[in-house]
């Protein structure tokens, strides 16, 4: 399937979760700039050393570096479709991406900020295998929207079910870093959204207020409506 998608939304809304599920379901390549950068940091590569400070502080990696990384991964995907997670994050990145490939649709995820912060503070990850868990149990109505998020726990406390390693909080899930990331996101996302809307790229807008299986079904339904799958 040769569908070319971007998934957008604030930090912690679940872009990684949904891009992973959609890539498997649709048979397309997931290109996650966050995963790529964190892996380079883990390996201690030249790129990893360059971007480590940005990741820890919640600031953006320079556009030219991100564009080169994404272009390389898109070309590697070849005839397969892809879903971009974490890119573009600036208007300049969006404009550069247009010179590389034509995007078929934008999946735009939203969530109330109060819920978002609560979930990020209780998120636990296994860096080596990429598994994500959450220890919070949310059942509340905010601004007229009902949010129901049961906890996503590992079978053994603080131990990953997939690889058996310890679960930890991500460095960028600290309260001050979360607030900084959200502030940056709000400032930079509006021009990107306006850019794609003025170019007529279809938007699939989804409120993330339930568990992933329900949200994935909503996204797939909308993709079918657009005759993209």
> Residue 88: is the preceding peptide bond cis (ω within 30°)?
yes
Catalytic residue among 21, 30, 122, 181: 181
Q: Which helix (H) or strand (E) holds 74?
A: helix 63-77
Contact 127, 163 (CB under 8 A): no
Catalytic residue among 80, 127, 128, 170: 170
Catalytic residue among 38, 73, 89, 122: 89
Among this protein's residues, is 181 annotated catalytic? yes
Among this protein's residues, is 21 annotated catalytic? no
Residue 145 pairs in a beta bridge with 142
Contact 119, 134 (CB under 8 A): yes
Q: How far apart are CA 21 and CA 32, in angstroms?
A: 13
| Phi, psi for 145 (deg, rounded to 5) | -110, 130
Strands, DSSP E only, in the chain? 4-8, 29-32, 82-85, 105-110, 123-125, 132-134, 138-142, 145-149, 203-207
Among this protein's residues, is 15 annotated catalytic? yes
Catalytic residue among 123, 124, 126, 222: 123
Catalytic residue among 4, 15, 21, 124: 15
Q: How far apart are CA 61 and CA 162, in angstroms?
A: 30
Q: Which residues are catalytic?
A: 15, 89, 123, 170, 181
């Amino acid at each position: 399937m040769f569908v070319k998608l971007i998934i957008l939304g604030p930090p912690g809304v679940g872009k990684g979760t949904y891009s992973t599920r959609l890539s498997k379901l649709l048979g397309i390549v997931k290109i996650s700039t966050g995963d790529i950068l964190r892996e380079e940091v883990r390996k201690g590569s030249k790129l990893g050393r360059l971007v480590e400070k940005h990741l820890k502080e919640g600031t953006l990696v320079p556009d030219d570096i991100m564009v080169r990384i994404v272009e390389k991964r898109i070309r590697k995907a070849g005839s397969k479709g892809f879903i971009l997670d974490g890119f573009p994050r600036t208007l300049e990145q969006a404009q550069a991406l247009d010179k590389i490939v034509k995007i078929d649709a934008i999946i735009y995820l939203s969530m109330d900020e109060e819920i978002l912060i609560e979930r990020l503070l209780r998120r636990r990850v296994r860096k080596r295998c990429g598994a994500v868990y959450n220890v919070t149990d949310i059942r509340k109505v905010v601004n007229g929207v009902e949010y129901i998020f049961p906890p996503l726990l590992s079978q053994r406390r603080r131990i990953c079910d997939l690889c058996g390693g310890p679960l930890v909080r991500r460095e960028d899930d600290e309260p001050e870093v979360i607030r900084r990331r959200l502030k940056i996101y709000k400032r930079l996302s509006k021009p990107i959204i306006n850019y794609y809307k003025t170019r007529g790229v279809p938007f699939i807008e989804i409120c993330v207020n339930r568990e992933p299986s329900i949200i994935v079904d909503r996204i797939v339904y909308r993709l079918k409506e657009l005759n993209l799958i």
